Structure 1
């Protein structure tokens, strides 16, 4: 009897774990984004963050894990997530971008977020979210935290 009960408990727990939705936002790299845009133009969702950004972590935990958000972004957008302090050399649209500030500043910002998400050419306020139309024209720029409901309204 004890063995049957344990087997039943194990079965129920394994079913619950297997039935959980493991879907995530399909974040692309800059190279993947460029190829995808060339093959099939589609709106683009770009999210700039940093490891030290508290509201970025809150977005990752509370907004980008919501099923409705994941489904809408994956269905209607190409999504890209980038740490603004990345040291990666990125080639996009034939131009090479690096983090030149990393050589002289403690928290140097990569050239791509400086180009796309800075409000004054030098400072990037995080979290920074940019929404582009399928022609890569800017539709919306958001420089603060938002809820999943607010994000879904922005995406519609």
Structure 2
């Protein structure tokens, strides 16, 4: 395929995705979300920065971020190219193994909105009740760099990702 044809397709594909009906999904318009188990394997193969999005089904701002920030073409491209993105429902009852450690939701069955151990470990603040939405950014060594506990607009998410890459 000639370079000109590749360039034209590179420009037209995102435009066609935006014009397509809501039923037709363009594959490149979605964030490639991983589980923690998949993340562990991916980090072992190729270290990258990591974004973890903690959410709950009842969280209106989490849904709003999913519909806006995580559908923004620039955010999707930045995440898929430069980060591993993990999305986790904080109320999951799944047992998750990560880095040789077993994590569970100890609050399941005991609290109205039970929060799994992983978000409690990664997205809690001392003296502040756990809140959503919560986004945590890690460097290539899986060390926490930034945490956000609010709705993040597409514009702000683009800035956050750009700043993370320049650190």
Does the pair score TM above 0.5? Answer: yes
Selected match of 1:151 from 137, 144, 157: 157
Picking from 115, 124, 130, the partner of 1:124 is 130
The aligned residue for residue 68 of structure 1 is 74
Output the CA distance in 2 between the equivalents of 1:93 and 1:121.
28
Q: Which residue of 40, 49, 53 maps to 1:47? A: 53
Task: Determine helix, strand or coil for the equivalent of 2:70.
Answer: coil
Q: Deviations over 1:57-99 (max 9, x none)?
A: 1001111111111000000000000011010000000000000
Q: Secondary structure at the match of 2:67?
A: helix
**Counterpart among 17, 20, 33 of residue 17 in structure 1:** 20
Q: Is 1:139 paired with 2:145? A: yes
CA displacement at 1:21 relative to structure 2: 3.8
Bigger CA radius of gyration: 1
Q: Distance in 2 between matches of 1:24 and 1:61?
A: 11
**TM-aligned CA deviation for residue 123 of structure 1:** 3.1
Q: State the Cα distance separating 1:120 from its structure 2 match.
A: 2.7
Query: Gaps (5+ residues) in structure 2?
Result: 1-18, 163-167
Cα deviation for residue 150 of structure 1 reads 0.7
How far the C-alpha of 1:125 sits from its partner, in A, is: 1.0
Note the aligned Cα RMSD (angstroms): 1.8
Which has the higher mean CA deviation after the structures are superposed, 122-131 or 143-152? 122-131
Rounded to whole Å, the distance in 2 between the matches of 1:99 and 1:151 is 29
Q: Select which of 36, 41, 52 maps to 1:35.
A: 41
TM-score by length of 1: 0.85
Match for 1:102 among 85, 103, 108?
108
**Cα offsets for 1:21-62 (capped at 9, x unmatched):** 442000001110000000000000000000110100100111
Please, which moves more after superposition, 72-81 or 144-153? 144-153
